[in-house]
Amino acid sequence: MIFKIALKDFLTNLLSSRFVIGLLLCLVLIPFSILISVNNYQSRVAQYRIDREAADKAVKEVRVYSKLRPEVVFPPEPLSVFSMGISNQVGSHVKIWLGDKPMLAAGKAEAGDNPFLGAFFSVDFTEITAIVFSLLALIFSYDVLTREKEDGTLRLQMSNSLGRSTFLAGKVLGILLTLLPVLIFSFLLASIFIVFSSHISFTASEWGRIVLLFAISLLYLGVFVFIGLLVSSHSRTSVTSLVLCLFLWVGLVFLIPNLAANFAASFVRVQSRDNLDRVLADIDHELTERTHQAYKAAGIPESSSCWTCMEDSDGGFETYGNPRPGFEQFRRGAEISEPLRIEYADRRWTMQKAYLDSLSHQANVSEELSLVSPTGIFRAIASALCTTDLRSRENLMDRTRQYREAFIRYLEGKNIFSSFRWITPASPDSFYPSEDALIEKRTGGEFKSAHAFWTWAGQQKDQYAAFQKLFKVKLPGDGPEDFPYLDVSDMPRFPDRPPGLFSGLEGSVLNVGLLLVEVVLLFYLGYVAFLGFDVR
């Protein structure tokens, strides 16, 4: 009996205009959303290739360990074509510094090459399906009881020995049977588009996640079917039911997620980035002070001079053509400053973590508030499935920080801060014993000591020409071009670990449970209401 009713409804629906229009809507909107997502993904992949190449090149083309800073480049998540989550807003590459733990990734935002495009929003597959499926579910369920009552057929059916539960089960099954092909069609369409797009391919576990997404969509659809049922069971006419359902639709799908975000943004404070930067600058200042004191204690002079030196941030220092004492001074300096730098990274991290936590807190509050609406739950689960949610990003950044530890251990294993290799590729055997010796060699013997040269040069009118004397003889090892690149084949690399089918989904279990509870509760309420429904 249940199945007879369901089949009757299914066939009626199949021929109805709402089914045709619904299918048409999916036919237009699903490819549209996939097109946009795929387009976005492809440009991110292109950017990834550029960034990766640049990162690899940067690591290869160093001559001293002091300049070696690997850069982790995250590939775009393939499943982001289904749900973009926050993947467009957080960066994609992280440089490993000694003095700073990775906090936030850098990279081009979605705006990409034009900051103005940041004002434009985008929709992905998940958002479109959240909108369209909920609408379709309501369009088919808002009059599930009222229509038959108005047509007089409800009375007719109830005049037979038909239990209310049986009838209701049949009606509900009929709606689900009608909507299931639409859902399947949409996912198939999306999958086909993706399969035929270049640069995208999914692993088996990613396909598995798509299947899970499909299951969740079905659950989501069910929630709205039962909302329609509940409203229909409490309405006198189909028009009333329709109006109520439509307002509920706009409220649940559009308003509540927006209100949640607005509330979180207005009422949950995040720490100010400017404040953080100021505090970090203070810590840097303290580090500089401490380093200077340590230099003093070790008897290292404040000032230095070098023939060629290239200084970078984070203590990157590359130097050539110095006399031995000069090199020694730099080496001893690094021996002190670099471990301190690493130590202070932890102090900075305390502040940074507090800042990050405040950001996460606000984002989490926003998501939790949006769980009031089934659409919010659906989006949360979808982005978790597609590894584009906050938790996945936090895991990724954790791994990046662990990699930094591995890199530092690698350096420490070589005892590199105490080595000349930290600052120069030149072999210590090739160092000149003194500046005098160097000047003599450079000027081709014209000046025998540094003092002699500088005294003479100070008296010259044309300073520039005076300087040129120092370039009379080019010594080997005077500049970087005389040395090969560093061999970094033993440097640890960032491990690419694609997630398994169920990894990272622990947080979503609760959300799925919430959807299930809603489905059951709404159905129960609708059922109870129908028991008292006036069928005349």
Partner 1 sequence: MLKTVLKRELLHNLYSLRFMISLVLLIGVFIVGALSFVKGYALRLEKYHETQAQFLEAMKRDAADNATKLAVLQRTYTLRPRDSTFIDDAKERYLPNAITFSAWNVFSFQNKSGSANPFLSKFDELTWSFIVALIVSFIVLLFTFDAVSGEKELKTLALSFSNSVSRGTLLLGKSLSAVLSAMAIVITGVLISLLIILLLGGGNMTAALAGEVAGFLIITALLVATFAAFGLLSSVATPNSNISLLLALSFWLAFVVIIPNSSTFIARNLFPIQSSESIQKRVDAALSDLDKNAPPGSWMENDSMPFLPQHKLRANLQMKYLDAEKAIRDNNYQAMFGQFARTRLATAVSPVSLLEDMTEAVVGGGYVRFRTVWSDMHVYQSQFLNFFKTVDAVDKDSPHWYNPNEDVSTTRKPVAFEQVPVFEEKLPSFADRFSLSFRYLIINAILIAFIFSLTYLLFVRYDVR
| Binding residues for partner 1 restricted to 105-144, rule: CB under 8 A | 108, 110, 112-123, 128, 131-132, 135, 139
Q: From the CB of 393, what's the least distance to partner 1, in Å?
A: 8
Q: From the CB of 315, what's the least distance to partner 1, in Å?
A: 24
CB nearer partner 1, residue 65 or residue 133: 133
- Give the 3-state secondary structure of residue 87: coil
With CB under 8 A as the contact rule, the residue among 2, 23, 27, 29 that binds partner 1 is 29
Contact between 43 and partner 1 per CB under 8 A: yes
Residue 503 phi, psi dihedral angles, 5° rounding: -70, 145
CB nearer partner 1, residue 29 or residue 406: 29
Q: From the CB of 345, what's the least distance to partner 1, in Å?
A: 22
**Could you give the CA distance from residue 334 to residue 332 in angstroms, rounded to a whole number?**
5
Which pairing describes strands 308-311 and 317-320: parallel, antiparallel, or unpaired?
A: antiparallel
Site for partner 1 in 5-24 (CB under 8 A): 17-18, 21-22
Residue 318 phi, psi dihedral angles, 5° rounding: -135, 125
Q: From the CB of 340, what's the least distance to partner 1, in Å?
A: 29
Report CA dihedral (298, 302, 306, 309) to the nearest 10 degrees: 90
| Structure token pair of residue 90 | 């957080």
Contact between 236 and partner 1 per CB under 8 A: no
Q: Are 95 and 68 in contact (CB under 8 A)?
A: no
Per-residue binding letters, 412-451, with partner 1 (x by CB under 8 A): ----------------------------------------
Stretch that binds partner 1, among 208-216, 361-369, 419-427, 526-534 (CB under 8 A): 361-369
Contact between 32 and partner 1 per CB under 8 A: yes
CB nearer partner 1, residue 16 or residue 449: 16
CB nearer partner 1, residue 324 or residue 361: 361
CB nearer partner 1, residue 115 or residue 484: 115
CB nearer partner 1, residue 159 or residue 464: 464
Site for partner 1 in 245-304 (CB under 8 A): 246-247, 250-251, 254-255, 257-259, 261-267, 270, 272-274
Helix or strand holding residue 32 (H, E): helix 17-60
Contact between 477 and partner 1 per CB under 8 A: no
CB nearer partner 1, residue 287 or residue 390: 390
- Distance from the first to the final alpha carbon of the chain: 21
Contact between 244 and partner 1 per CB under 8 A: yes
* Secondary structure E strands in 215-347: 308-311, 317-320
| Structure token pair of residue 96 | 């490993």
CB nearer partner 1, residue 120 or residue 196: 120
Residue 6 phi, psi dihedral angles, 5° rounding: -60, -45
Contact between 390 and partner 1 per CB under 8 A: yes
Site for partner 1 in 78-97 (CB under 8 A): 85-86, 89-90
Size of the site for partner 1 (CB under 8 A): 73
Contact between 207 and partner 1 per CB under 8 A: no
Interacting residues of 106 by C-beta distance below 8 A, sequence separation 6+? 91, 92, 93, 94, 95
With CB under 8 A as the contact rule, the residue among 239, 509, 516, 517 that binds partner 1 is 239
177: amino acid identity, one letter: L
Q: From the CB of 361, what's the least distance to partner 1, in Å?
A: 9
**Helix ranges, 61-200 (H):** 125-141, 146-151, 153-158, 164-195
Tokens 């929709």 belong to residue: 123
Residue 489 phi, psi dihedral angles, 5° rounding: -65, -20
CB nearer partner 1, residue 31 or residue 208: 31
Burial status of residue 111 (CB atoms within 10 A of its CB: 0-12, 13-18, 19 or more): middle
Q: Are 44 and 50 in contact (CB under 8 A)?
A: no
CB nearer partner 1, residue 115 or residue 413: 115
Q: Are 527 and 163 in contact (CB under 8 A)?
A: no
Q: Which residues pair with 320 in a beta bridge?
A: 308
With CB under 8 A as the contact rule, the residue among 13, 240, 419, 434 that binds partner 1 is 240
Q: From the CB of 448, what's the least distance to partner 1, in Å?
A: 25
With CB under 8 A as the contact rule, the residue among 359, 372, 514, 525 that binds partner 1 is 359
Residue 507 phi, psi dihedral angles, 5° rounding: -65, -25
